[in-house]
A and B are shown apart, each in its own frame.
Chain A
Amino acid sequence: MKKGYTIFLVFIIIAVSAPLISNQKPIFLIRDNKISLPFLSCINYEKVSNDFVIMPPIPYSPGVSDFDNADYKSPFSQQHLKNNSIHYRHWLGTTLRGCDVFAGIIHGTRYALLIGFFAALISLVIGVSIGATSAFSNEGRIHLSFFQLMICIIAFLFFYNLIANVELNSVYKWFVVIVASISFYFLLQLKYFRIYNFSINFEKIEMQLTILFSAVPRLFFVVAIMGIFEHSIAILIVLLGITGWMEIARMMRSELMRIQGMDYYASAQLSGASRMRITIKHILPNILPLIISIFSFSFGGAVLSEASLSFLGWGVAPDQVTWGTLIMEGKDSMYAWWLVVFPGACLSICLYTLFSIGRRWNNETYSL
């Protein structure tokens, strides 16, 4: 299992240091006795004869064409090497336009892990919140005054109308409306507003909501929504995040309900511990392995969804190279196997690592 962690650590190191590993700009430059780090700047580097440079191990950026090696150069074929230096060889071949596959894979790792991590985080936050609220709400019910409910609906309408004429991206508009409405609800938690109380069976609502969101397959949902918005990483993260919380909520709810029925929970309650203390001291250590397990599976699922969407042409923006886009490009050619095999192998290993970490922590949870 340690191998799994090691491989995943390697992926993380590659993702973090991608500009240092693969870049057409030098890492280190001494020009006219001045030291600079060109890989950090946006300005294009042009070599002068007296320069002292340290180039990255792969001197190509993703998506940048090397016209001398265009038209699918195999890793084993003869290539036109710049300055006849082996350093400029395309070790994993090139695409139709001469883009380096190795550079694409390294920067693709970055996109895969970035999108996967944040999408999984959003799913986890939503899933854990809904699951925990459902499990901990008083006998599955939350009490809400009629007045509070009405005010929340009116607030939603008001905030929407307020920003309807403001020139903002529609995602931000919705975000502002929802955040404003939620904050309004918390404001109304003051006793002053409680006029007539009635209860909502939150547990049932949560279960119906989970079924409702599970009803449409994830890819169907994301593709339909991506048709509306411009392709970008942020949109993709949000969409993958809001479509992956259902299983997490269900698992979290069942686990928390299991814990609530255990002896140590009852003992803690009888000993007069506060809810916060019980949560932090007793519940959290017990559900932490489950949370890590869920996060790993969710992370893997998001990475897989991102690759599938990029493969379909609905993923990140077209100028960004990911594992999925490389495989999509390989699909167009009948002999450029290196465009399919190397990114596909990277994706499979990454997923295997994440799933095996998840399985390990899952076993840990149920062995307790």
Chain B
Amino acid sequence: MRIVFKCFLVLVSFFVIAGFSFLLMRYQSNRPLQSLTVNSNFSQHSISVYSPDYLSLYQQYGFSKPSFYFSISNLALPDSFKYFPETPEKDFLIKWSCTTGNPASVYQVYKSLYSFHLEEWNVPPSQVLGLQRIVSNLTVTTEFDSLNSYFAEFKKLLPKQSTTALLLNNISEFKIKNRFLQLCLVFHINSSNQFVLWCSDLFNKGEGVYANSWYSKESVWTAIKKPFLITFLISIFSIFFILTTSIFLSCELFLLKDKKFVKYIYAFITFLYSVPAFFVGTILIYLFSNPLIVDLLPSNFSFSPICMSDDGWLISIFNSWKYFILPVCTLSFGAVIFFVILFYNSFESEFLKNYVLSAKMMGVSARNIIYKHVLKNAIYSSSTFLFLLFPALLSGSLVVEQLYSIAGVGSLLMSSARSQDVPILIFLFGFTGVITAFSFFTLDYYQKKINGRILSQKIQ
């Protein structure tokens, strides 16, 4: 019964998180119509196509209409205007910058316009994740009129932004005089319509607008499948790496604890705990994936066989082992340090116990005592944290996936957040919620099985 109740709680948390995220998604400003993310080896760009509101401004300043309007997220400062030659568009943008008082955003528009005019956007088409989508979307819309039609088509897919306004009109038409009823109706419909649609699309029909990504037009399940598999693989490899490395390091460190230099190593390890993963990752790229130093390991995961081929998953995983090394090392760096400290401290407390003393008296070597007796007990006491590893790794994947251009769950979240792809965002939120809730649930169950005190309470 308890398990059923806990499962029910997991489901409830999924829906609450998804619903909450959905409600937050509604309150958005300056939403771009379309946003496309590109990850190159060492940089990440995103193009956001905005509505053609600039047209009136262009006409106001007497310039010919541009081919399309968009912005790039990797910005420079307004003083970089100096880099660009004098064009009518530059004059316009500077004037507009003065009137709007936001030179940075205007600069984005100008930079992208300029880059596209001169075809200087140096992202190699064959090597960049997601560029294919951009090309397929933007090459057909280089003409302004065709872009407008593209927008018109895209707008059909957009959620009804003016739900509240429409509702209020309807309510006034129905002449509901009771203000309280009006409020209840507005609140009810605002909070239910699109989320209910999403749920019904996803679980019942599977064909509606909310069952598909608004960005890639593929179904939510298809969009999430491959990124999840990649993130899952990296997380599993990381967990394996964390356990083996931390156990080995902590045992060997503890064996040498009588040496003077171990004190300094331990202090250094505690310092390493404060070093952020993205800094470590960047340093690893500099050291091991740098043509100027040692080009030993690949750092761009988008070249790996697992990303390039759609079939033969198992073989492609084996073929792309080299591509996993740097991401796994970066992702597990913090956790390895954490577990080394944790195991080391556990060993210290375990070493004071009687069974260690009797083993010592029987002449068992220190290495055997640690590996055969102490390690097992130390792992039991520290195992609570093992179950919380997976959610933590999921969070860390956001940084690591951006660093190594991995098309995983973190990258999907970033691109979905940029393009406000609500169906994917709701699913990702719910998905991470369920994973975390499941980890808590498993931890709870495991502790009941392992912890003697809880077990004895149950027996009593």
Task: State the CA gap A334–B27 with chains docked (Å).
Answer: 40
A337 interface residue per 8 A CB criterion: yes
Question: Is the Cβ of B29 less than 8 Å from the Cβ of A170?
Answer: yes
Q: A residues within 8 A CB of B359?
A: none
Q: Which of B152-160, B179-187, B248-256, B367-375 lies at the interface with chain A?
A: B179-187
A344 interface residue per 8 A CB criterion: yes
Question: Is the Cβ of B417 less than 8 Å from the Cβ of A219?
Answer: no
Question: Is the Cβ of B399 less than 8 Å from the Cβ of A217?
Answer: no
**Residue in A64, A157, A319, A324 whose CB lies within 8 Å of B184:** A157
Contacts A170-B27, A215-B13, A340-B282: A157 and B395 contacting too (C-beta < 8 A)?
no
Question: Is the Cβ of A211 less than 8 Å from the Cβ of B13?
Answer: yes
Q: A residues within 8 A CB of B413?
A: 220, 223-224
Task: State the CA gap A335–B10 with chains docked (Å).
Answer: 48
Q: A residues within 8 A CB of B78?
A: 319
Q: Which of A74-82, A180-188, A259-267, A348-356 lies at the interface with chain B?
A: A348-356
**Residue in A212, A215, A317, A348 whose CB lies within 8 Å of B104:** A317
Task: State the CA gap A304–B276 with chains docked (Å).
Answer: 7
Q: A residues within 8 A CB of B187?
A: 157, 160
**Residue in A65, A313, A352 whose CB lies within 8 Å of B79:** A65
Q: A residues within 8 A CB of B417?
A: 223-224, 226-227, 314
Task: State the CA gap A227–B440 with chains docked (Å).
Answer: 29
Q: B residues within 8 A CB of A141?
A: none
Return A34 CB to nearest CB of chain B, in Å.
29
Return A313 CB to nearest CB of chain B, in Å.
6
Task: State the CA gap A307–B418 with chains docked (Å).
Answer: 19
Q: A residues within 8 A CB of B9?
A: 208
Question: Is the Cβ of A313 less than 8 Å from the Cβ of B395?
Answer: no
Return B54 CB to nearest CB of chain A, in Å.
18
Question: Is the Cβ of A67 less than 8 Å from the Cβ of B82?
Answer: yes
Q: B residues within 8 A CB of A312?
A: 398-399, 402, 414
Return A177 CB to nearest CB of chain B, in Å.
12
Question: Is the Cβ of A216 less than 8 Å from the Cβ of B25?
Answer: no
B275 interface residue per 8 A CB criterion: yes
Interface size range of chain B in the complex: 35 or more
Question: Is the Cβ of A348 less than 8 Å from the Cβ of B183?
Answer: no
Q: B residues within 8 A CB of A333?
A: 42
Task: State the CA gap A48–B392 with chains docked (Å).
Answer: 58
Task: State the CA gap A97–B111 with chains docked (Å).
Answer: 14
Q: A residues within 8 A CB of B429?
A: 216, 220, 224
**Residue in B44, B104, B271 whose CB lies within 8 Å of A318:** B104
Question: Is the Cβ of A164 less than 8 Å from the Cβ of B292?
Answer: no
**Residue in A217, A324, A349, A351 whose CB lies within 8 Å of B391:** A217
Task: State the CA gap A229–B24 with chains docked (Å).
Answer: 10
Question: Is the Cβ of A348 less than 8 Å from the Cβ of B271?
Answer: yes
Question: Is the Cβ of B433 less than 8 Å from the Cβ of A216?
Answer: yes
Task: State the CA gap A33–B21 with chains docked (Å).
Answer: 61
B283 interface residue per 8 A CB criterion: yes
Question: Is the Cβ of A161 less than 8 Å from the Cβ of B183?
Answer: yes
**Residue in B43, B180, B292 whose CB lies within 8 Å of A332:** B43
**Residue in B164, B279, B414, B432 whose CB lies within 8 Å of A216:** B432
Q: B residues within 8 A CB of A5?
A: none
Q: B residues within 8 A CB of A65?
A: 77, 79-80, 82
Task: Choose among B76, B270, B273, B285 the residue with the greatest number of A CB atoms under 10 Å from its CB.
Answer: B76
Q: Which of B389-445 contact A (CB under 8 A)?
A: 391-392, 394-395, 398-399, 402-403, 413-414, 416-418, 420, 425, 428-429, 432-433, 436-437, 440
Task: State the CA gap A347–B279 with chains docked (Å).
Answer: 9
Q: B residues within 8 A CB of A200?
A: none
Q: A residues within 8 A CB of B64?
A: none
Q: B residues within 8 A CB of A97?
A: 76-77, 80
Q: B residues within 8 A CB of A68?
A: none
Give B399's nearest chain A residue, CB to CB: A308
B74 interface residue per 8 A CB criterion: yes
Task: State the CA gap A344–B392 with chains docked (Å).
Answer: 22
- 28 A-B pairs with C-beta separation under 8 A: A97-B76, A157-B186, A158-B183, A170-B27, A174-B27, A211-B440, A217-B395, A217-B432, A219-B398, A219-B399, A220-B429, A227-B417, A227-B420, A228-B24, A228-B420, A229-B29, A300-B274, A304-B276, A308-B278, A312-B399, A313-B74, A314-B414, A334-B286, A340-B279, A340-B286, A348-B279, A355-B274, A356-B270
14 further A-B pairs in the complex, CB-CB below 8 A; given A216-B436, A217-B392, A352-B270:
A154-B180, A161-B186, A211-B440, A212-B16, A212-B433, A217-B395, A217-B432, A227-B28, A308-B276, A314-B417, A318-B75, A319-B78, A319-B104, A348-B276
